[in-house]
Amino acid sequence: MRRFWLPLAVTLAALGQETELRFPPLGPVTIPKVETFTLGNGLRVYLLENHELPLVSGLALVRTGNLFDPPDKVGLATLTGVVMRSGGTAAKTGDQLDEELENVAASVESSIGETAGEVSFSALRENTGAVLEIFRDVLGGPRFRQDKIDLATTQLRSEIARRNDDAEALGAREFAETVYSKDTPYGWRIEYGTLARIRRDDLVAFHRRHFFPANILLAVYGDFAAPEMKARLEALFGGWDAVQPPVPPFPPVRGKPHPGVFLAAKDDVTQTVFSVGHLGGLLRDPDEPALEIMANILGGGFSSRLFLRLRTQLGWAYDIGAEWGAAYDHPGLFQVSGSTRSSSTTETIQVVLQELDRIRSAEVTGQELETAKEAALNGFVFHFDRPAKTLSRLLRYQYYGYPKDFIFQYRKAIEAVTKADVLRVARQYLRPQDFTIVAVGHPAEFGKPLSTLGLPLHPIDLTIPEPAAK
């Protein structure tokens, strides 16, 4: 069992001299010991006992993702993830699973996202055995019954029909797809046409290719005895002998910038939602901690520069923030995003660009650096406030190939960040000439037109390609 202590607390200068609070040292943080082992078929298991509540839960993390969708069948991974659970197992239809699980307040859920597939369960302790069996069958033996493929397809079609209704979701999607390029897997989207081409066989094949023991990390958490759980998992999964060649790496992000202003016009809003930014980086980049401090000073909370100027001082925005947005295995999205009344759209984006310029022009102040660093270091204990967080972190680190003690390396790196580092990384990594600016709003009501930004202006076509007639 490892322990660590946070740095001894400081006094509160901001309250004036008459109030000096002295904090006692923080009590020890207990880092739970996670047991790991690998079954003969390659399935890697992580167990963490916790007896506070009579509950057991688990997560299988599977190396797959919608980045592996065939270009003419975008939506295949998403659909596979949904119907794995809803389409039932050999023994039970999906509807039967719904009843059996909910009868005992348990759940088994599945989904496939961009760079991972997840199948999870949660059960009251006394039902662990029965629920684990369903979990195993959903993970390894889904039947993809056609009626539930049809249901999921209907649902996805409705989501396509609704995809331009919410301005914030629309802005986030257009920003991500534009920065990653619409002609790469990171920028593809599900259309009626791509859905229509997907057949049950495609789901079966996609599942078979990615869901095999050596491609899965399994974590189980809660109220059990580890030796018994180990035996139970061996009995349940040990005979699963599916073998496939290793899953290839995810496609790389192609770094071509898409500078300019991209405008989505909507006439039923009184506000403009905007994002400004470009590709970010990886969590493991040595400069990532300095970039995170930089982004926090720029727009990370109540104390940040963008909050101060656009919200507190100008009253133009309620929602405003910045994040460096590093991801584990491919460049994430650096973005400043927020919303403002239609009439101040252009001026607000100008203030954002000024602040981006300012953070590249001069060192941040000592107080800004101190606030950002102390927030991260004093709040570090919240990475350990629940034992399940340690387990989940360990699983992600393993999945993406990070060292087990990455969180401690990260803390050390935060401690070392200087004002000079912040300026250096802002200059090195923020590239104003590459900024993609996405705005969703009602242009007739913009006071100053967006063209006054002096940047190329591209309208976003919100037409939804109609489904082919059936």
CA 281 to the chain's CA centroid: 14
CB neighbours of 455 closer than 8 A, spacing ≥ 6?
A: 259, 260, 261, 437
Contact 148, 140 (CB under 8 A): no
Other CB atoms closer than 10 Å to residue 466's CB: what's the count? 9
Q: Which residue has the tokens 């300026």?
A: 423
Q: Are strands 44-49 and 35-38 parallel, antiparallel or unpaired?
A: antiparallel
Read off the DSSP letter of residue 60: E
**Between 144 and 180, CB nearer to other proteins:** 144
Instruction: Name the amino acid, one letter, at 470.
Output: K
CB 106, min distance to other proteins, A:
8
The residue from 1, 3, 16, 470 that contacts other proteins (CB under 8 A) is 16
CB 143, min distance to other proteins, A:
17
Binding-residue total with other proteins (CB under 8 A): 84
The residue from 2, 28, 354, 420 that contacts other proteins (CB under 8 A) is 28
Of residues 38 through 57, those in contact with other proteins by CB under 8 A are 52-55
The strand pairing partners of 322, in sequence order, are: 336
The residue from 145, 311, 330, 411 that contacts other proteins (CB under 8 A) is 311
**Between 38 and 367, CB nearer to other proteins:** 367
The strand pairing partners of 121, in sequence order, are: 58, 108
Binding piece for other proteins, criterion CB under 8 A, among 162-170, 238-246, 256-264, 326-334: 162-170
**Between 16 and 246, CB nearer to other proteins:** 16
User: What gap in Å lies between CA 58 and CA 122, rounded to an integer?
Assistant: 7
CB 245, min distance to other proteins, A:
36
The strand pairing partners of 222, in sequence order, are: 49, 56
**Between 86 and 215, CB nearer to other proteins:** 86
CB neighbours of 375 closer than 8 A, spacing ≥ 6?
A: 296, 301, 303
The residue from 314, 327, 353, 453 that contacts other proteins (CB under 8 A) is 314
Residue 238 burial by Cβ neighbours in a 10 Å radius (0-12, 13-18, 19+): middle
Q: Does residue 181 belong to the site contacting other proteins (CB under 8 A)?
A: no
CB neighbours of 331 closer than 8 A, spacing ≥ 6?
A: 253, 255, 279, 280, 281, 282
Binding mask 88-127 for other proteins (x = CB under 8 A): -------x--xxx-xxxx-x--------------x-x-xx
Q: What are phi and psi of 384, to 5 degrees?
A: -125, 20
The residue from 38, 51, 161, 420 that contacts other proteins (CB under 8 A) is 161
**Between 19 and 354, CB nearer to other proteins:** 19
Of residues 233 through 272, those in contact with other proteins by CB under 8 A are 266-271
Residue 419 burial by Cβ neighbours in a 10 Å radius (0-12, 13-18, 19+): middle
Of residues 330 through 349, those in contact with other proteins by CB under 8 A are 339-341
**Between 84 and 179, CB nearer to other proteins:** 84
Binding mask 381-420 for other proteins (x = CB under 8 A): xx-xxxx---------------------------------
Binding mask 357-386 for other proteins (x = CB under 8 A): -------------xx--xx-xxxxxx-xxx
The residue from 301, 403, 449, 465 that contacts other proteins (CB under 8 A) is 301
**Between 201 and 267, CB nearer to other proteins:** 267
Contact 371, 334 (CB under 8 A): no
* Closest by CA position to 6, among listed 392, 417, 415: 415
